[in-house]
Structure 1
Amino acid sequence: MCFFAVWVFLGILLCTPSQCLECPFGCECFAVTRTVKCVSKEILTVPQSIPGYAKAVIITGNNIHQIGPDSFTKMENVTNIILSNNRITDMASHSFSPLIHLRFLDLSENRLALIHPEALSIPGSPLQELNLSRSLHDLPALTDLTTALRWGGLRGLLRLDLSGNHLARLPLGFFSHLPDLRQLFLTNNSLEAVHSGTFSGMNRLELLDLTHNAFVTFGADALLELEKLGNIRILLGCNPYNCSCDIGRFAAWLNESRAQVDLDAVRCASPRGLSGARLPGLSVHAIGCVDPVQTEVADLPLQTSYVFLGLVLGLVGMVFLFVLYLNRKGMKKWIIEMRDACRDVLEGYHYRYEMDSDPRLGHIPADNGGSRRDLGSALPQRLTSDTCIVKPPADTQVKELANSPPVNR
């Protein structure tokens, strides 16, 4: 009799899906492992009547487009839920609120387009692991997720997977409401830069995966942001690093940082001559650039000479101005004399111009040493039959001509 009772008890525990009356239609229930599986059954909604002993619920490969607060009723004991590859597009408010003991939630391989700000809100914040890899449909979904992480009260979250979502950038403060996060996976995205404040508030992070993104280098702000994370493990391999002059600072950081970086996987993708070379062991001379520190040291004597030359020129200028100030009276007298001399020269040129412009003086020699007798012969004489003009002396003719107004040509 006892043997028969034990046999019945084992049969109940190890019953097949068709034998378990509490198992929903199209699902498989395993009482021993406390697991319910509904895989590729073309289910349109989350099955109800999940057995109360279930701890893990696996619903994958179906056509569940929407989940809401009524999807997981009477599942207080469930701790793990896998909802991957169900074509879920909409998560309503308090979708997982009945799951007060939920520790692990997998929403990967879906097409989330609409996420309510309180979709992930669960009383008591029991959720520790959240998998959203390859689940965001577009950029608005990322914005909704940012709000959901802020309003979801996920302060107990330890592991977050956002890989494979084509993320080009992360909003500032995206992880600031996850203070206990230990592992963050951002692999297989399109991230090109890390901005200041991207990882703010993550004081307990232990692992950061940035592999398989679009990083060509890390600037000063990005390196400072990574350095703030402290002595954690950072995966930076499998990125298309461009080993040009701009990557020198990043190469120096790899050799000096206290973070545990996968140095062997950080390799150059371009230029062609350095493709595949390990970036941590690459010197600035191999890259073809001069070390910025050495350049500053080399330019220091030249900068000093420029400063000294500027001081000397300034001193010479001050001495020159001081000498001019002391000799201001002599300089004024010299300037007046120069002005008078220039004025005399200009008046002489003006007088000669007037003499040359008078037609009556066109044949008078310019020099004063010439014979005055020639002046009389040079002047035109007009004689008529009725009058007799007495020729005045030559000196008188010159004076009259000089006092007469000029005749326009």
Structure 2
Amino acid sequence: MLRFGVLLLLLAQPARCSACPPGCACSEAAQTVKCVSKELRFVPAGIPAYTRNLFITGNRISRLGPGSFAGLDNVTTLSLSNNRISEVASHTFSSLHNLRSLDLSSNQLALIHPEAFAVPGLMLKELNLSRALYNHSSVMDLATSLRWSGLEGLQSLDLSGNGLIYLPPRIFSHLSGLRRLQLANNSIVSIYNETFSGLGQLEELDLSLNALKIFGDEGLAELEHVPGAKLHLGDNPYMCTCGIEPFTAWLNASRVRVVDVERLVCLFPVELRNTSLLAAGSLVLGCHRTGEGDNLALQTSYVFLGIVLGFVGLMFLFVLYLNRKGIKKRVYDMRDACREVWEGYHYRYEIDSDPRLSQVSTTADV
């Protein structure tokens, strides 16, 4: 009887092996299937139904569609990194009713359909899209997908290393349950209004290794939209000019929130390179002193100009005083000349207006 049982076990062993797709390694005990670096062009068929952890990485799969994972209801962890995936169709993962972690890192996503990440029952908790977007323009497709895929239960989103230049307004507003947001190693130049709208439960925000030169009023307001989040702001090219004063004041008041606050330094101008932003406030006060000096110099110029004009005016009056007699004589001469001219015009007018005087004038001329 014992031999018969052993025989059955031996017969079952090859069957279990044959249930594993070619190019994959399956472990029923660990409920894990790995299809790693086998040049696969499609998600292999026949993956065992017991699979909870599925790793299909380092292959040449270009597209994922709704039928790619049919029958895999038990999968909770799915890694599809480094597969050259360029398109993810809507409802690709809809058959994965228990999916909690999805890794699409190191792919080339150029076309992301509106409901690409839709998973039933708000089960998806972690989504890794680091180094996954084909270029920074793919962020618009991503924003639409995040809005339409019903990811209110998502807790961790990794978008690091995607060369993102900007983030559309309210891109994360439908991820109300998000706790951790990774935006490191991009090219983000500024944070605008409503960038982090709807992320009231965020606990960690990583903005390190970007192109942030300054946080203006809008950017600081966005950081205040996530008051409970620990912030990573290091390795950005901060420009320590007078406009950075509100940011340095905010940093000094928010040291507990900024994890790497001690490592935040100025990159520009060159003479302030590697100066701590925490100490930049005193340097910014120097900007104010410079401004006051400029105003003082301008006021001094106005005073000097007034003095010069006053001196010129006094000199003019002094010259008039010294030549008062000659000026008076000239005035009298001009008055007499004007009077003579006026009397001549008046006399001529009387002659022309009276015919008798005109006749007398003519006779006198004869």
Aligning the two structures, in what range does the TM-score lie when normalised by the shorter sequence? 0.7 to 0.9
Amino acid of the residue matched to residue 351 of structure 1?
A: W
Cα offset for 1:50? Answer: 0.7
Amino acid of the residue matched to residue 274 of structure 1?
A: L
Amino acid of the residue matched to residue 270 of structure 1?
A: F
Structure 1 residue aligned with 2:342? 351
Indicate if the aligned counterparts of 2:105 and 2:131 stay in contact, CA closer than 8 A. Answer: yes
**1:24 maps to which of 21, 32, 39:** 21
Give the direction of change, closer, same or farther, for the CA distance of 1:346–1:136 in structure 2 (3 Å limit).
farther
Q: What CA distance in whole angstroms lies between the structure 1 residues aligned with 2:179 and 2:289?
A: 37
Q: What CA distance in whole angstroms lies between the structure 2 residues aligned with 1:242 and 1:282?
A: 10
User: What residue ranges of structure 1 are gaps of 5+ in the alignment?
Assistant: 303-343, 358-398
Indicate if the aligned counterparts of 1:60 and 1:82 stay in contact, CA closer than 8 A. Answer: yes
Identity of aligned residues (%): 45
Q: What CA distance in whole angstroms lies between the structure 2 residues aligned with 1:19 and 1:98?
A: 24
Say what the alpha-carbon RMSD is for the aligned residues. 3.5
Give the direction of change, closer, same or farther, for the CA distance of 1:66–1:291 in structure 2 (3 Å limit).
farther
Give the direction of change, closer, same or farther, for the CA distance of 1:144–1:286 in structure 2 (3 Å limit).
closer
Which has the larger share of helix?
2
Q: What CA distance in whole angstroms lies between the structure 2 residues aligned with 1:42 and 1:76?
A: 25
Q: What CA distance in whole angstroms lies between the structure 2 residues aligned with 1:402 and 1:45?
A: 132
Q: What CA distance in whole angstroms lies between the structure 2 residues aligned with 1:200 and 1:220?
A: 16
Amino acid of the residue matched to residue 280 of structure 1?
A: L
Cα offset for 1:229? Answer: 1.1
**1:207 maps to which of 200, 204, 214:** 204
Q: What CA distance in whole angstroms lies between the structure 2 residues aligned with 1:402 and 1:273?
A: 101
Give the direction of change, closer, same or farther, for the CA distance of 1:286–1:179 in structure 2 (3 Å limit).
closer
Cα offset for 1:99? Answer: 0.3
Q: What CA distance in whole angstroms lies between the structure 2 residues aligned with 1:9 and 1:248?
A: 75
Give the direction of change, closer, same or farther, for the CA distance of 1:184–1:400 in structure 2 (3 Å limit).
closer
TM normalised by structure 1 equals 0.69
Give yes or no for the alignment of 1:33 onto 2:30: yes
3-state SS of 1:179 partner: coil
**1:229 maps to which of 226, 229, 233:** 226
3-state SS of 2:33 partner: strand
Cα offset for 1:72? Answer: 0.2
3-state SS of 1:135 partner: coil
Indicate if the aligned counterparts of 1:227 and 1:257 stay in contact, CA closer than 8 A. Answer: no
Cα offset for 1:138? Answer: 2.8
3-state SS of 1:277 partner: coil
Structure 2 residue aligned with 1:107? 104
Indicate if the aligned counterparts of 2:51 and 2:74 stay in contact, CA closer than 8 A. Answer: yes
Q: What CA distance in whole angstroms lies between the structure 2 residues aligned with 1:124 and 1:165?
A: 29
Structure 2 residue aligned with 1:128? 125
Q: What CA distance in whole angstroms lies between the structure 2 residues aligned with 1:47 and 1:184?
A: 32
Cα offset for 1:142? Answer: 1.3
Residues 109-161 of structure 1 deviation map (CA, whole Å, 9 limit, x = unaligned): 11111111111112212100001111111344211111111110011100000
Give the direction of change, closer, same or farther, for the CA distance of 1:231–1:280 in structure 2 (3 Å limit).
farther
Q: What CA distance in whole angstroms lies between the structure 1 residues aligned with 2:198 and 2:256?
A: 18
Indicate if the aligned counterparts of 1:108 and 1:134 stay in contact, CA closer than 8 A. Answer: yes
Give the direction of change, closer, same or farther, for the CA distance of 1:279–1:258 in structure 2 (3 Å limit).
closer
**2:46 maps to which of 49, 73, 76:** 49
Q: What CA distance in whole angstroms lies between the structure 2 residues aligned with 1:151 and 1:259?
A: 36
Q: What CA distance in whole angstroms lies between the structure 1 residues aligned with 2:88 and 2:24?
A: 23
3-state SS of 1:281 partner: helix
3-state SS of 1:38 partner: strand
Indicate if the aligned counterparts of 1:284 and 1:291 stay in contact, CA closer than 8 A. Answer: no
Give the direction of change, closer, same or farther, for the CA distance of 1:235–1:291 in structure 2 (3 Å limit).
farther
Indicate if the aligned counterparts of 1:76 and 1:99 stay in contact, CA closer than 8 A. Answer: yes
Structure 1 residue aligned with 2:261? 263
May I ask how many residue pairs the two structures share in their alignment? 316
3-state SS of 1:282 partner: helix
Amino acid of the residue matched to residue 277 of structure 2?
A: L
Residues 353-387 of structure 1 deviation map (CA, whole Å, 9 limit, x = unaligned): 659x9xxxxxxxxxxxxxxxxxxxxxxxxxxxxxx
Cα offset for 1:289? Answer: 1.3
Q: What CA distance in whole angstroms lies between the structure 2 residues aligned with 1:199 and 1:57?
A: 33
Residues 66-112 of structure 1 deviation map (CA, whole Å, 9 limit, x = unaligned): 11010001100000111011111111121001001000000111111
Pairing of 1:67-216 with structure 2 (within 5 A): 67-216=64-213
Pairing of 1:296-307 with structure 2 (within 5 A): none
Amino acid of the residue matched to residue 288 of structure 2?
A: V
Structure with larger Rg = 1
Indicate if the aligned counterparts of 2:24 and 2:34 stay in contact, CA closer than 8 A. Answer: yes
3-state SS of 2:220 partner: helix
Give the direction of change, closer, same or farther, for the CA distance of 1:346–1:89 in structure 2 (3 Å limit).
farther
Amino acid of the residue matched to residue 276 of structure 2?
A: R
Cα offset for 1:4? Answer: 9.8
Structure with larger RCO (C-alpha < 8 A, sep 6+):
2
Indicate if the aligned counterparts of 1:88 and 1:111 stay in contact, CA closer than 8 A. Answer: yes
Indicate if the aligned counterparts of 1:231 and 1:258 stay in contact, CA closer than 8 A. Answer: no
Amino acid of the residue matched to residue 254 of structure 1?
A: L
Q: What CA distance in whole angstroms lies between the structure 2 residues aligned with 1:164 and 1:191?
A: 11
Residues 226-281 of structure 1 deviation map (CA, whole Å, 9 limit, x = unaligned): 02211320100000001111111111100112761021121111112221121113
Amino acid of the residue matched to residue 88 of structure 2?
A: M
Cα offset for 1:284? Answer: 2.7
User: What residue ranges of structure 2 are gaps of 5+ in the alignment?
Assistant: 300-334, 349-356
Q: What CA distance in whole angstroms lies between the structure 1 residues aligned with 2:83 and 2:93?
A: 16
